Chain A
Amino acid sequence: MIEYEAVIGLEVHVELSTESKIFCACPTAFGGAPNTHVCAICSGMPGTLPALNREVLRYAIRAGLATNCEITRDGKFDRKNYFYPDLPKAYQISQLYLPVCRNGRIEIGEGKNKKTIGIHEMHIEEDAGKLVHDPEGNCTLVDYNRCGIPLIEIVSKPDFRSADEVTDYLERLKTTLQYIGVSDCKMQEGSMRADINLSVRPVGREELGTRTEMKNMASLKAISRAIEAETKRQISRISAGKPIKQQTRRWDDDKGVSFSMRSKEDAHDYKYFPEPDLLPLRVSDGMIEEIRREIPELREARRARYIKELGLPEYDADILTSSFPLVRIFERTAGICGNAKEASNWIMTDLLKLLKDEQVAPEDMHFPEDSLGKIIRMTSEGVINRSVGRRVLTELFGSDTDPITYVKDNGLAMVSDQSVIETAVDRAIRENEKAVADYLCGNPKSLQFLIGQAMRHLRGKGDPQSVQKILFEHLEKRR
């Protein structure tokens, strides 16, 4: 039986997180009521002209440098022409002939599975709007808010052979881009999406098979499933002697199958030509060096530092550096509570569990960056005890409420008033004669039980040390 392998290439679109759009001053913020982040330029009014936001070029170069690309010194923009209602000018300003970056690479895999994935090129372009179906009017409406959000398209070489390699690459690409602050890479919000080119060939053959393309994939799981299904589909067709048609397919993740959208014959002729409204891009050595200096410590270096300088366990350092949102929240939390290990512990045990339970990716987390630090500080300062701290974290996760205010407003601060604790201890002793007797007979477990009872009367807010001390004194008096 012939053994086949998949040959996969990726085109990844990433929205850059510049403040304003690529050719106008509109904000890039996600969401907003339809057509509120829109001006004459990004809605394609007659007479408007694009003016390049220079930050976009800097971001793209930063992305290129972080993925080992060569930076093009004389780039330019081209028009890609096609009609669609989400594209108000009916052409997209992109780069065909002289993309901003070329010939980069990203390492994937570990140990002996290490492998280099080549980056063919990276080019700058503008995003299009979104079509929204209006069930009430039974018509389609257009929202131009996303029009003109800067994108980089990162085109890999066809170096992947499996879905695992693809997801590994995407994870690393995402981490790198988040680290260097050029994109939040939120797949859920569409700020990172991938087109998959896939063909199969008998193992050992040089020449490539006919490829199909699946566009706009926006979740790692779907990408993985789509690759596996498409590989199987192509192999079974070839095995059955049927040809593979060069076509664009749409992956339906719910049904787990892909459908043909259009074939090569009706592929677009985009009629590219140089954009006459924009000047060529000139990138100097000085500019490249300046941008190189802005690139922050990347994952490997940061991981090593966490282990060596902060004394974190390797496993913890590995997890914490796996995504930049975690790095940010870790460093912020450690900064506020003044204890890196404690910050790491809370994130590793409590925060990650919450993320997992709620099925939220770290970059999609909605939680003020200083909240966790404040909670930990309150526990170490004895304002609340640890279990109340956990409760506060769980209750506030996903909200903007300030933990200090929350603790105050809900009366969660620890009770350290002697007389209040004594009342609770008295009650615990009075209501649990048997446990008291057991304790006095030498059963230490009973002490824990009685502490629990006293804490219950204090509604969990008692300072554990005071409670234990007072209980102990009261019990000893009975001897």
Chain B
Amino acid sequence: MSISRQNVETARKTGQEFRSGAVPISEHIEKTISGIQKEEPRNHCFVTLFEEQAHKAAIRVAQKLRSKEDCSLLAGVPVGVDDTMMTRGRRTTCGSGTLEHFIPTFSATAVQKLEDAGMIIVGKLNTDEFSMGSLTQTSFFGPTSHPADETRVAGAAAAAVASGVISCALASDTGGALRQASAGCGVCGIRPTYGAVSRLGLAAFASSMDQIGPIASDIRDCAEILNIISGKDPCDSTSVEIDKIDLSRIDSFSLSGLRIGIPSVFFESDTDPFVKASFHEALDALRSEGAVTETFSLKGLDQAVAAYAVISCAEASANLSRIDGIKYGFRAPEAKTLSEVYERTRSVGFGSDAQKRIMLGNYFLSAERYEEYYLRALRVKALIAKGFASAFRRYDVILSPVSPSLAPKKEPYDTLSMFEEDFFTVPASLAGLPAASVPCGKNPDGLSVGLQMIGPHFSEAKIVGAADAFLRIGGGQKTQGGQK
């Protein structure tokens, strides 16, 4: 089953119906949860449902709305949260067997901000183990099914939104998970500028690239959620204050004269023909509205995946060391000595992909390899960031496909080819740039592809404007097609 975009109510419209009193929040939450429960055996989007807490929150928020307390436009709207984000007093597994029963003592800042805005967290979404992957293939709880094809995988936040059980969700994006999940399911997602959203309470995968962002069927909903969760957090030193996106100005955004750059290496890559064709069609559509496209060369892009692999594995190896069986989480019951506690807990607790990345990370950071790998990767990262900075003097946005292939089958994967899937998405991650994924085509089997729009730091408003204009001209609504 798949619900087309138009049939899903936007989060903003749902919020409006709550404020006007047309729909009672409690009733809507109850419907949402029973909808999730009905689809769950097939979709497998959620790891944990917060049924009881959501009902209580619904009563609380309804009370607030009745007493005309200051609430956001999305007050009362149900939302799903990726299970790598801490939810105080409610199970948070990070998609890992090591934290299967873990209950955190605090909420992620982004989660707290959603709840402060009156949004209701209905449950935790399936995720790759500690975000290591994009399409839930490495989750301890098994993969999420693609809404259009049960034999294929999907990112859970995007799948839940695409299947219509929720209208919006929070996901995390390190090398492109949020964008690839959105593209694969034909929904919108934004990875904000690094630092725009606090990382506090997001279980760290690669700290220098991890970001939280919104996924929704509607790009304006994404912007609305981003406005709620963004901003400086004193508890995250790397967070920054950013301007809120003025949604009232989006309608007037014009594609005419928009300067679009496309790194030439993006045309040369080994990309699925349908993905390629959809990308070209999207460019045609934009040009027909007066946008100007140009290819350019961006140094270091050919090494981006390698640099990303080195940096992310290195940081992950340190970040995941705290999962040691001493303080919380799983501990191998048969372990007797200290080194057995470490070795068995970690080799039984972590999935094979996580173990591979941890070992790679340790290798890259070892005293003999540090310069050859880690420092070199940092140089590539700096080179790419510099290349983007100079490109953005000439272009408003840089476009590319999101994923080189269509949603993969549920079958064994290997870590290295998973890195290759990140070809289009890691450059923005390395440079800390904001990037959106918007739907730009659907093949006859219902598998979607996305268009990536990358902007300069803190250009979220511009990206949302361009994405919205692109969707208004029907860029994302094509099914079939592809062949020119």
Contact = CB atoms under 8 A, between A and B. Distances in A.
B235 interface: yes
B315 A271 contact: no
A85 B338 contact: yes
A91 B238 contact: no
Interface string A32-44: 0000000010011
B324 interface: yes
B204 A91 contact: no
Contacts of A46: 86, 92, 94, 99, 102, 104, 203-204, 322-323
Contacts of B323: 46
Contacts, number: 98
A37 to B, nearest CB: 16
A89 B322 contact: yes
Contacts of A278: 237-238
Interface in A66-123: 79, 81, 83, 85, 88-91
Contacts of B338: 85
A235 B327 CA distance: 46
Contacts of B367: 269, 271
A271 B367 CA distance: 6
Interface stretch (A47-55, A359-367, A378-386, A446-454): A47-55
Interface in B455-477: none
A279 B321 contact: no
A48 B208 contact: no
B85 interface: yes
A40 B105 contact: yes
Given A50-B237, A142-B326, A91 B321 contact: yes
A81 B236 contact: no
From A45, A46, A83, A271, residue with most partner B Cβ within 10 Å = A46
A48 B200 contact: yes
Contact of B322 (A88, A269, A276, A277): A88
Contacts of A83: 321, 324, 342
A79 B318 contact: yes
B85 A47 contact: yes
A45 B322 CA distance: 8
B431 interface: no
A273 interface: yes
Contact of A51 (B235, B315, B326): B235
Contacts of B324: 83, 85, 90
Interface residues of A, number: 28
Given A83-B342, A91-B321, A271 B327 contact: no
Nearest to A90: B321
Question: Which secondary structure dominates chain A's binding surface?
Answer: loop
A277 B202 contact: no
A271 B362 contact: yes
Nearest to B239: A49
A99 B256 CA distance: 52
Nearest to B329: A46
Nearest to B362: A271
B208 A276 contact: yes
B90 interface: no
B168 interface: no
A268 to B, nearest CB: 10
Contacts of A43: 327
A51 B237 contact: yes
Nearest to A83: B342
A90 B105 contact: no
A142 B235 CA distance: 26
A276 to B, nearest CB: 4
Interface string A415-428: 00000000000000
Interface string A131-159: 00000000000100000000000000000
B321 A47 contact: no
B269 to A, nearest CB: 29
Interface in B54-113: 85-86, 92, 94, 99, 102, 104-106, 108
B374 interface: yes
B207 interface: yes
Interface string A253-295: 0000000000000000101110011110000000000000000
Contact of B203 (A40, A47, A91): A47
Interface in A11-69: 40, 43-52
A51 B234 contact: yes
Nearest to B314: A273
A48 B322 CA distance: 11
B236 A49 contact: yes
From A40, A45, A49, A85, residue with most partner B Cβ within 10 Å = A49
Contacts of A44: 322, 327
Nearest to A46: B203
A388 to B, nearest CB: 56
B199 interface: yes
B328 interface: yes
A47 B104 CA distance: 9
A27 B108 CA distance: 23
Interface of B: 85-86, 92, 94, 99, 102, 104-106, 108, 199-204, 206-208, 234-238, 314-315, 317-318, 321-324, 326-328, 338, 342, 362, 365-367, 370, 374
24 contacts: A45-B104, A46-B92, A46-B94, A47-B85, A47-B86, A47-B106, A47-B201, A49-B199, A49-B236, A51-B235, A51-B236, A51-B237, A81-B321, A88-B326, A88-B327, A90-B318, A269-B366, A272-B365, A272-B370, A273-B314, A273-B315, A276-B238, A278-B237, A278-B238
Given A46-B104, A83-B321, A90-B321, 14 more contacts: A46-B102, A47-B104, A47-B203, A49-B199, A51-B234, A52-B237, A85-B326, A85-B338, A88-B322, A142-B327, A271-B317, A271-B366, A276-B207, A277-B204
Closest CB pairs A-B (n = 8): A90-B321, A271-B365, A276-B208, A276-B207, A47-B201, A46-B203, A47-B86, A44-B322
Interface of A: 40, 43-52, 79, 81, 83, 85, 88-91, 142, 269, 271-273, 276-279
